[in-house]
Structure 1
Amino acid sequence: MEGYASICLGLEDFYTRRLYLRIQDCFGRPISSAPDAWFDVVDAFYVLLGILKHEGKLDRKPGYYPYSLNRRTTKKSRCLNLGSYNYLGFAASDEYCTPRAIETLKRFSASTCSSQVDGGTTSLHNELEECVARFVGKPAAVVFGMGYATNSAILPVLIGKGGLIISDSLNHNSIVNGARGSGATIRVFQHNTPSHLDSVLREQIAEGQPRTHRP
C-alpha cells in the first residue's frame, strides 16, 4: 500500500510466486517416524484449486497467481534420509543408546536452560570434556553445544587486534562473524585458488600493519 514499506523484498516475492508455488510439493512433507537413515514420509498431493486473481494490494502487482492446496493421504513411503542432523543415528531406536538416553533425560532433564558459565555445567559436561582431552592427547578440552558458537566464540580468543586473518571467500558465516569479532585485520582470498592466496599472503607481509605498516 502507498506510504508503507513492502512486506517482502522483490527477490523473496519472485521466489514465492515463480518458484515455490510451482515446486512446493518438494517441501513440507511430514515424516511419521524417527529421522533415522530410512524414514516414513506421509504421501500428499497438491490440488490446483484455480487461479487466484490479485488486484495489486499490499506488495504484489496486479495479476493472476496459481492457488493450490496440500492434501495429505493415509499412505506412507519409505525414503532414504539424505538431509538430517542425525549424523550418528541416535534419533532412531537403538538397543544400546535409547535406554541410556532415557536414563540421562530422567536424571538431567532435556536442558540445563543456561549456558555453562551461568550455572549450566553438569557432571556430564566435565566428563565429556575430560574424555575428549584424553582422546586427542591434550591436557584439557572445551566442548560447545553447536558449531556456530564454536567458530564465532573461539576465533576472538585465538587472535585479536594486530593480528591477520586470511579467510576463504566461502567460509561459513560463523567463521566470518568470529573473525569480525576478533578485531583482527581480515583479508579474503578466492575459494580453492592457491595462487590468489599466495598473492594475498605476499601483499600483506610486504605492507604490514594497516596505517603503521609495522610487521
Structure 2
Amino acid sequence: MELKDIDPSGIYLQERLFKPRYSAVFLVTVRDVTCVMKVHHGRGPPEYYEPQDRELDIHVLESTAYIRLKERGLCERGIVPYYLGSMRKFDPALCQPHLKMFLEDDYLPSALFLRYIPNQQSLDLSNYTPQRMKNFMSGIEEIHNAGVSHGDPKPRKVMVITVDPERVVWMDFDRAETLEEGHITEWQKRHLQDDKDLVDGVRITLETDYARGDGKLQESIVFFCS
C-alpha cells in the first residue's frame, strides 16, 4: 500500500495523538485508509552557523530513513511502522482547525503517513519482558544493517504492542542519518556507535531494575527523563 499525490483538503483528521517539540502526530483518514500523519514544521536554508554539508530538515531525514527501511523489508516485518508516503510543503490552511499551530510558520510544513498501530505503549519497566528487550536490541541492529542511524534511540522511541507479547516497534526517525551505500563518514560512524552505546545502556539498566523486582526505575531512570 502506498499513498501518492495526497490532496490535503481530502484528509479527515480524527484526533491528535502526540505533539512532539518539532512536529504533531494525528490519527487521520486518507482515501478510506486510517493511518497516522506526522506533520513537521518547515525550515529554510541552513543558517551561517549551521552545518552546510548535511541535511537538517527533519522531514527529509525521517522520510528518507523510512524509504530505506521499507526498501530493506523492515516495514513489512514490523520492526518499524509501515511507511505509506509523504506530502511535501502543503498549505496548512487546508487542514484547519487542527493545524493552526503551523499557520504562523515562515515555511510550509510537510507530512509523512504511517500505518496505524493500535494498542501500543512506550517501552518501560511496567511492560518489560526479556523477550521484548531481546527484540529491542535486535531491532536497532537491523536498522543499522539497513544503513540507518536512528540518532535518538531512547525508550520513548520504542513501542511495545500490548496484544502481542513479543513485538517491539522502533519509530521517530526525525534525527536519523541514512548512510550512503559503501561510504560511511567518520561523523556517521560516531553516530552509529552513539546509538549502540545508548541502547546498551538502556538494556543493562532496565535489566538491573527488572531483576530487583520492586517495579521502580532506578538505574534506568536517566533514559526516561528526556
The alignment's TM-score, normalised by the length of structure 2, stands at 0.24
**Structure possessing the higher radius of gyration over alpha carbons:** 1
Report 1 or 2 for greater relative contact order, CA contacts < 8 Å, sequence distance ≥ 6: 2
Q: Which has the higher helix share?
A: 1
